[in-house]
Amino acid sequence: MTLLSTTLNAVGLIFLTHAVYSTHEHTTTFPSAPLPLDITVELLFSTLVLSAGIVFASPSLKPIQWSRWAGKIEREGRQSEGTWTREGEEVLDEGDPYAFLGLDGGIGGKGEGRRGFWDVRGKRQEYAEWVKSGGKN
């Protein structure tokens, strides 16, 4: 899809530039004559091709129904957006927007939600015990 959209955009841009240049040439040479048909057609064609290229280059649409959208997040998990930060971390798309409530682990859950109340000593102890048991789950 990216190859198709890049090609369309490139072709469209070339034609658009050519059409604009031709118009400029024509109006400076014959100031009073009307624009010939082939320039108009080229202009319209290039705009169409460019529009198609831009539409193909856009990311896929999100579901507009809440339950579908939420279901998609739940089913697919967080996917890569194809970019990386300078530190080498992958940029992921959106996840559960309510994860901050920390309710997914159930009662007394061990999730990472509710950062404000993060139990650093509990987590450290959990890790120390994991190391002591030989790194098994």
CB of 1 to other proteins, least distance (A): 17
Burial 92-131 (b: 16+ CB within 10 A, else e): eeeeeeeeeebeeeeeeeeeebeeeeeeeeeeeeeeeeee
Residue number with CB closer to other proteins (31 or 59): 59
CB of 113 to other proteins, least distance (A): 7
CB of 136 to other proteins, least distance (A): 9
Residue number with CB closer to other proteins (21 or 118): 118
Give helix then strand counts, H and E, for the chain.
4, 2
CB of 65 to other proteins, least distance (A): 9
Beta bridge mates, 80: 92
- 3-class state of residue 102 by DSSP: coil
User: Comparing C-alpha atoms, which of 7, 6, 46 is closest to residue 23?
Assistant: 46
Residue number with CB closer to other proteins (38 or 126): 126
Provide CB contacts within 8 A for 99, sequence distance 6+: 111, 112, 113
Residue number with CB closer to other proteins (29 or 87): 87
Instruction: List contacts with other proteins (CB under 8 A).
Output: 66-68, 70-78, 80, 85-92, 95-96, 98-124, 126-128, 130-131, 135, 137
